[in-house]
């Protein structure tokens, strides 16, 4: 299917179809916390990151997550990606360390993905 950018919403069923072609029960995603859009469907977070940058996003606003579609919404986001290692922005690990950014990512995902 390839990478898609979600700006206005996507159903969980559509994400399940994308996941079936890749990793089964989860998807890699990159969230632009400034533009409030997501990219899904890449084999690597860096692929989705590049796709969003080509679409006008700025790297400092992009964060990688894994979305486990078989879990409850309050447990389905894993804030882990190599693209999150950004010492210059104060993020020194693969995890999104800022609680504020985690909350914004959760809000964006939950707003864009419908049941």
pLDDT at 105 over 70: yes
Q: What percent of the chain has pLDDT over 90?
A: 92
Q: How much is the mean pLDDT over the chain?
A: 96
pLDDT at 22: 85
Q: What is the pLDDT of residues 32-48, one digit of tens each?
A: 999 999 999 999 999 99
Pick from 39, 19, 17: nearest CA to 29: 39
pLDDT at 96 over 70: yes
Query: pTM here?
Result: 0.95
């Amino acid at each position: 299917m390839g990478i898609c950018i979600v700006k206005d919403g996507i159903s969980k069923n559509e994400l399940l179809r994308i996941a079936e072609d890749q990793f089964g029960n989860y998807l890699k995603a990159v969230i632009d916390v400034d533009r409030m859009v997501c990219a899904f469907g890449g084999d690597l977070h860096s692929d989705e990151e590049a796709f969003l940058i080509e679409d006008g996003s700025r790297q400092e606003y992009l964060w990688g997550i894994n979305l486990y579609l078989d879990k409850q919404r309050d447990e389905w986001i894993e804030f882990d990606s190599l693209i999150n290692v950004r010492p210059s922005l104060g993020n020194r690990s693969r995890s999104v360390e800022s609680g504020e950014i985690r909350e914004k990512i959760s809000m964006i995902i939950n707003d864009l993905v419908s049941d």
